[in-house]
Amino acid sequence: MNGLILAGGQSSRMGQPKSLLQYHGKPQYQHVSDMLLGFCERVFISCRAEHQSLFEGTETILDSDSYGDIGPLNGVLTAFDKDKNKAWLVVGCDYPLLEKSDFEQLIRARNPSCLATVFVNPDTQFPEPLIGIYEADAGPLLQEWLQMGNESLRRFLEKHAVQIVVPQHPDCLKSVDTPEDMERLAITQVYFVKSAP
C-alpha cells in the first residue's frame, strides 16, 4: 500500500497553503507523511505542478492536466496512473486532528474485497472520501466514473461496495479549511513556512 497526501487544492478560503500550516511543530504534509510511513511502502504528495517546489525532498505526483479541474479525484486518478497495482491510503492535508491511532483503526478494519475502506462521518452519515484506503480494483472504476461525467469521490463511495468504519475519535474527521475553522477548533500557533508561487 502506498500513501497519498492530497495537496492539490487552491486553498483560496484559507488564504495560504493548508499543507504548509503547522499544527504539530512541522508543516502538515510532513506530519501526515511521517504517520503514513509507518503503514505504507512509499508516501507521495499529490499537488499541482506550480506547487511542486513547496515539497522539496518529498516524492510528488503531479495532478494531470488531462483530467482537468476535478478536485481530489484528479489526485487519486493520477496516483493510480503511477501505480495501478497498489492500494492507496489517501489523506487530505486539512485534517489536523488525525492521529496514528486513527490510521491503525482504519487499517485494522480494511476489507480488501471492497473497493475502499473509509470512515463514516457520524454527523452527516456520509462516507469521508479523503481519509480512506482505495484498493487497486477501484482505479478502473474511478476512470469509468469520470468518463460518465462524475467528479465526486463521495458519490462514488455511496454507489459502490465499500467498507464503512465508525471512527473511535470522530474529531479526526474535522477539516480545517478557513481561518474561522481554526478558531473553532482552538488550534493555536498556526503559521506557514513558505509562500506559494
Query: Domain range spanning residue 73?
Result: 2-184
E strand or H helix at 180: helix 179-184
Q: How far apart are CA 153 and CA 142, in angstroms?
A: 9
E strand or H helix at 147: helix 138-147
Is 102 part of a structural domain of the chain? yes
What one-letter code names the amino acid at 73?
A: L
Could you tell me the pLDDT band of residue 158, with boundaries at 50, 70 and 90? very high
> Cell numbers 505526483 label which residue?
61
Is 29 part of a structural domain of the chain? yes
Q: Are strands 116-120 and 43-47 parallel, antiparallel or unpaired?
A: unpaired
The enclosing domain of 95 has a CATH number of: 3.90.550.10
Task: Kindly state the percentage of the chain with pLDDT values over 70.
Answer: 86
Is 120 part of a structural domain of the chain? yes
C-alpha cell at position 26: 512541522
* Tens digits of residue pLDDT in 91-104: 998 899 999 999 99
User: What does each C-alpha distance from 29 to 33, 62, 67, 122, 123 come to in angstroms?
Assistant: 6, 15, 24, 26, 26
Q: How many domains does the chain have?
A: 1
Is 41 part of a structural domain of the chain? yes
* Tens digits of residue pLDDT in 103-150: 999 999 999 999 999 999 998 999 999 999 999 999 999 999 999 999
pLDDT at residue number 13: 59
* Tens digits of residue pLDDT in 10-35: 555 555 667 888 888 899 999 999 99
Contacts 24+ apart (CB under 8 A), 53-57: 53/197, 54/17, 54/19, 54/20, 54/194, 54/196, 54/197, 55/7, 55/19, 55/29
- Which DSSP string corresponds to 24-93? SSSBHHHHHHHHHTTT-S-EEEEE-GGGGGGGTTS-EEEPPGGG-S-THHHHHHHHHHH-TTS-EEEEET
Could you tell me the pLDDT band of residue 196, with boundaries at 50, 70 and 90? very low
Count other Cβ atoms within 10 Å, centred on residue 59. Answer: 13
pLDDT at residue number 176: 81
Is 197 part of a structural domain of the chain? no
pTM for the predicted model, two decimal places: 0.89
Is 114 part of a structural domain of the chain? yes
Is 155 part of a structural domain of the chain? yes
Is 36 part of a structural domain of the chain? yes
Q: How far apart are CA 152 and CA 135, in angstroms?
A: 17
